[in-house]
Amino acid sequence: MAEHPHAALVRKGYEAFATGDMETLAGMMTGDCTHHSPGESQMSGHFKGRDNVLAHFGRLMELTDGTFRVEVEHIFPDGRGHVMSVHKWHGDRGDRGIEMKGGLFFTIVGDKVSDVDECVEDIDEADAFWGKAE
């Protein structure tokens, strides 16, 4: 059975993220795409607009000296413009490493991602890893 087009879109996004292909990621987002990151760390907040979302992704790499990576485990489309994904993310920051499950809830409009809500397994641990805003 063929993969649902929205699931394929999300999978393509994970692959582009993993290879640092920001051009492909940018082309998959609406101009006003928003990424919502949980918690109260310097990586938390609402990043509105394609350029701000991509800058947020760049900051993940910057803070982890390029060690941040995500391994997709499951992708679940609803056939009505939403996709849930489950993944494991890893990174090293200073003398601290982290490995945590998380997920994203995508809203897709016109075959582009318009909104991404992020959830993590342990908000307090994620906040401790990322640290407060500098």
pLDDT of the chain, 134 residues: tens digit per residue? 789 999 999 999 999 999 999 999 999 999 999 999 999 999 999 999 999 999 999 999 999 999 999 999 999 999 999 999 999 999 999 999 999 999 999 999 999 999 999 999 999 999 999 998 76
Give the architecture (CATH level 2) of 5-129.
Roll (3.10)
Q: What is the pLDDT of residue 109?
A: 97
Instruction: Dihedral sign for Cα 77, 81, 16, 57, please.
Output: negative
Q: Where are the domains of the chain?
A: 5-129
Q: Cβ atoms within 10 A of the Cβ of 73, count?
A: 12
Q: What is the pLDDT of residue 32?
A: 98
Q: What is the pLDDT of residue 134?
A: 64
Residue 112 sits at φ, ψ, to 5 deg, of -130, 150
Q: What is the pLDDT of residue 51?
A: 97
Amino acid letter, residue 17: F
